[in-house]
Structure 1
Amino acid sequence: MIRRLFYLAVGAALAVWVMRKLQALHPEHVARRAAGRAGGLLAEVRAFAGDALEAAAKRESELRAEYGLDTVESTD
């Protein structure tokens, strides 16, 4: 009798766990998670691109100042 109740409880717990996993795979939930992750990834890429462009502009201005490229000289 106790063994039957134990297996009944294990089966019920397993059924609840499986149902929750199956509900998490519902297309609406998967799409929502994918959209959230894509939005986060897009924000990270934009931040990286902004940092890279800022560093490139800073380095370019340093090189222009070092080599005197800020002025346009005539070659006539």
Structure 2
Amino acid sequence: MIRRLFYMALGAFGAVWAMRRLQALRPDHVARRAVRGASGVLEQARIFAEDALDGAARRETELRARLGLGTVEETTAENTYHYDVKDGR
């Protein structure tokens, strides 16, 4: 008797779990979750890019100060490099 009750409860739990999983696979739910996940990934990418650019700018300023170079604007005005010039290779 107890064993039958256990298996009946297990079957009911399995049915409820399966129904909830199937309802979660409805197209509007899947689309909503995909958009939520994509926006989260996009926000993380923006934060990463912002941190990377900020770190690169700080490091460039540090290196320019250490090497005695001017600011970026001064250096680019003086040393304009033409990328279309052949370098002999």
TM bucket normalised to smaller: 0.7 to 0.9
1:2-41 equivalences under 5 Å are 2=1, 6=5, 8-41=8-41
1:43-62 equivalences under 5 Å are 43-62=43-62
Q: What count of residue pairs does the alignment treat as equivalent?
A: 71
CA RMSD of aligned residues (A): 2.2
Tell me, which stretches of 5 or more residues in structure 2 are unaligned?
79-89
The two structures have a TM-score, normalised by structure 1, of 0.75
Identity value in percent:
55
In 2, Cα distance between the equivalents of 1:43 and 1:49? Answer: 10
Tell me, which stretches of 5 or more residues in structure 1 are unaligned?
none
The two structures have a TM-score, normalised by structure 2, of 0.65
> Which residue is 1:63 aligned to?
63
Higher fraction of helix: 1
